[in-house]
Amino acid sequence: MAKKYNVAIMGATGAVGGCFLKILAERKFPVKNLRLLASEKSEGKKLKFNGKFYPVEVLDHDSFDGIDIVLSSAGASRSLEFLPSAVKAGAVCVDNTSAYRMEKEVPLVVPEVNAHRIKEHKGIIANPNCSTIQMVVALYPIHKAAGIKRIVVTTYQSVSGAGQKKVQELWDQSKDFLSKKKIRPVQFPHPIAFNLIPQIDVFTETGYTKEEIKMVNETKKIMEDSSIEVNATCVRVPVFYAHSESVNIETEKHITADEVRKLLAKAPGVIVVDDPKKRLYPMPIYAEGKDEIFVGRIRQDESITNGISMWVVGDNIRKGAALNAVQIAEILVREQLVRGASCV
């Protein structure tokens, strides 16, 4: 009889936690028992999964008895505090926070790029930053074909990447702006409605934000090439869902824009939308709710010999977070890499 697994979701009441539930159901993940974990303020709340309501329990160190797989989106500090207890209890954890991404012993995985690293886990597998995920899905086929030397990326990140309260703030500010009321920022340092904020996370001494540094370091680790130079500028934009990125690369070997289109048309998890004459190119409004990464505006960079520019768009809550983690869990199941699997 096919195996099913006891699954726990940390941060179950958040946007990514809700998306975990949706995607697990959509993809018919073999769930035996489900445990929903969150903070005390969410205790007793009920969430629906596969037609049944499950109560939210308070996350503590004893929450993982009998659990096979943990999907975590509870925040970095919570992952650092509680995932060791989950591992000790025998679970394999897929962590959607920044807590373990750059730990040497923890695989940082995008299945379309480096799924082979999953088997190296010692109880924890890290899910990358949402912006990094969509970029490397688009760039890895090019890197294999022509070798990427340098990446210059500017992100246009939706407010949902900062949490549900930020989504509400954009909604409220938009209504206030259109009603000619004074906008009062609460969640963001400046108004976000009809504005751009060139800061995501805090600034470091170098002048780069932590979000930008994540993209640099995570890209090198996932692509398994520390020689790739990455320069990132991350911008928050007044879009509810889906991140967009302007990406420019310099390659070792010459590759044409047409060759890139053909490569990406065959790449897993990528859809090419690139017909400028018909004004067809990826946009966040059409990427929302989709699993794939959309690539367009593919063109030769005429300022250097081996340069390509492109536009990359993806749903930051789905592929940028929950879907990527569930894909990792599916590989854990398929390759029998779950340590304490419960049989049904």
Dump the DSSP string for 139-202: HHHHHHHH-EEEEEEEEEE-GGGG-HHHHHHHHHHHHHHHTTPPP--SSSSS--TT--B--SS-
Q: Is the CB of residue 79 less than 8 Å from the CB of residue 10?
A: yes
Instruction: Write the CATH number of the domain with boundaries 5-128+321-334.
Output: 3.40.50.720
- Banded pLDDT at 127 (limits 50, 70, 90): very high
pLDDT value, residue 344: 44
**Better pLDDT: 199 or 44:** 199
pLDDT value, residue 1: 58
The string of pLDDT tens digits covering residues 273-317 is 999 999 999 999 999 999 999 999 999 999 999 999 999 999 999
The string of pLDDT tens digits covering residues 7-24 is 999 999 999 999 999 999
pLDDT value, residue 2: 78
Q: Is the CB of residue 27 less than 8 Å from the CB of residue 35?
A: no
**Bridge pairing between strands 92-95 and 124-126:** parallel
Separation CA 41–CA 18 (nearest Å): 16
- Banded pLDDT at 157 (limits 50, 70, 90): very high
Domain ranges of the chain: 5-128+321-334, 131-315
Q: Is 335 exposed, middle or buried (0-12, 13-18, 19+ CB in 10 A)?
A: exposed
pLDDT value, residue 89: 97
Domain 131-315 sits in which CATH superfamily? Dihydrodipicolinate Reductase; domain 2 (3.30.360.10)
Q: How many CA atoms lie within 13 A of 277 on its CB side?
A: 0
Does 254 qualify as catalytic in the annotation? no
With residue 136 as reference, give the H or E element that holds it: helix 130-146
Q: Is the pLDDT of residue 342 over 60?
A: no
The string of pLDDT tens digits covering residues 208-261 is 999 999 999 999 999 999 999 999 999 999 999 999 999 999 999 999 999 999
Q: Is 38 exposed, middle or buried (0-12, 13-18, 19+ CB in 10 A)?
A: buried
The string of pLDDT tens digits covering residues 82-110 is 999 999 999 999 999 999 999 999 999 99
Of 19, 93, 130, 234, the active-site residue reads: 130
Number of H helices, E strands in the chain: 9, 13
Phi, psi of 294 (to 5 degrees): -105, 135
Q: Which of 1-5, 39-43, 138-142 has the highest mean pLDDT?
A: 138-142
- Characterize 287-322 residue by residue with b for buried, 16 or more Cβ atoms within 10 angstroms of its Cβ, and e for exposed: bbebbbbbbbbbebbeeeebbbbbbbbbbbbbbbbb
Q: Is the pLDDT of residue 133 over 90?
A: yes
Does 243 qualify as catalytic in the annotation? yes
pLDDT value, residue 102: 97
| Nearest residue to 233 (alpha-carbon basis) of 109, 102, 149, 131 | 131
Q: Which pTM was predicted? A: 0.95
Supply angle C-alpha 285, 112, 20, rounded to 5: 60
The string of pLDDT tens digits covering residues 30-75 is 999 999 999 999 998 999 999 999 999 999 999 999 999 999 999 9
Of 19, 121, 234, 243, the active-site residue reads: 243
